[in-house]
Amino acid sequence: MGMTMTLVQLMMMMIILVLALATSKRVLASDPDILSDYLLPQNSSTVNATYFTYTGFREIFDQTPETFKATKASMVEFPALNGQSVSYTVLQFPPSTLFPPHTRPDATGLLFLLAGSLEVGFIDTKNVLHTQKLQAGDIFIFPKGLIHYQYNSDPQLRATAIAAFGSASARAVTVPPSVFTSGVDDVILAKSFKTDVDTIKKIKDGLTTS
Ligand SMILES: *[C@@H]1O[C@H](CO)[C@@H](O)[C@H](O)[C@H]1NC(C)=O
Ligand SMILES: *[C@@H]1O[C@H](CO)[C@@H](O)[C@H](O)[C@H]1NC(C)=O
């Protein structure tokens, strides 16, 4: 009887251990928590409100970029974000431009469309595409780590959006260059995409010359 209890307890402990490991793995993919209100810049012992203010976006909506433009306010541009697990990117889409399929391994993205319209979508781990046509005022969420895109299909109007992230440094991995221009062997790519090496070379040429 005592022996049985010990085995049950052992199994319980193993289950708890596995759960703890799974949890700690999730925590590692997020910004670490800090043990103070905020982190001071190197070599300074005090800060004032200037440190907590970012003014780099003041003229951003006066600009009309000719190609798709993503402008970040992450902890590189705005050091006070260090340790706070949040950041912004302003996304500006001239007519018929897009942010190609990409993932954000560090953070969930919350996109708020300010002007224009955007076709957005993400693909979940069951390979299901969740797509939507947003209009100004709409908010769309891109779950952490899933491949997603935004496309301004309007041939005349610009689209402007703000993306908020649950990380002070939300890195983007863009799928086409990551897969095709990082040096993976042509034969491996041809087999992966069930096509021939010439087609792979054509795709690579398109990505490196545009
Ligand atoms: C910070 O202090 C270290 C030495 O205490 C010095 O080497 C470094 O240059 C300083 N950095 C800045 C940005 O002042
Ligand atoms: C705040 O600190 C900055 C330097 O970090 C300094 O240039 C500025 O004058 C300070 N402002 C006030 C109101 O003390």
CATH number of 2-42+49-174, picked from 3.20.20.140, 2.60.120.10, 1.25.10.10, 3.40.50.1370: 2.60.120.10
Proximal ligand: closest to the CA of 43: 1
Atom of ligand 1 nearest to the CA of 43: 1
The pLDDT value recorded for residue 209 is 81
CA distance 93 to 120: 13
Helix (H, G, I), strand (E, B) or coil at 59: coil
Q: Report which of residues 177 and 3 the model is more confident about.
A: 177
Which amino acid residue places its CA nearest to atom 9 of ligand 2? 50
* Portion of the chain with pLDDT greater than 90, in percent: 80
Give Cα 6 distance to the centre of its chain: 46
Looking at residues 149-175, what average pLDDT do you find?
97
* Nearest ligand 2 atom to alpha carbon 44: 5
Tell me, what's the pLDDT at 30? Answer: 85
Ligand 2 site residues, Cβ closer than 6 angstroms: 48, 50
pLDDT of residue 173: 96
Map out the domains of the chain as residue ranges: 2-42+49-174
Q: Which amino acid is at 186?
A: D
Shortest-distance ligand to the CA of residue 79:
2
In the predicted model, what is the mean pLDDT of the chain?
91
Q: What does pTM read for this prediction?
A: 0.82
Q: Is 43 in the pocket of ligand 1 (CB under 6 A)?
A: yes
Phi, psi values for residue 128, rounded to 5°: -95, 130
The residue whose CA is least distant from atom 1 of ligand 1 is 43
Please say if the pLDDT value at position 27 is more than 50.
Answer: no
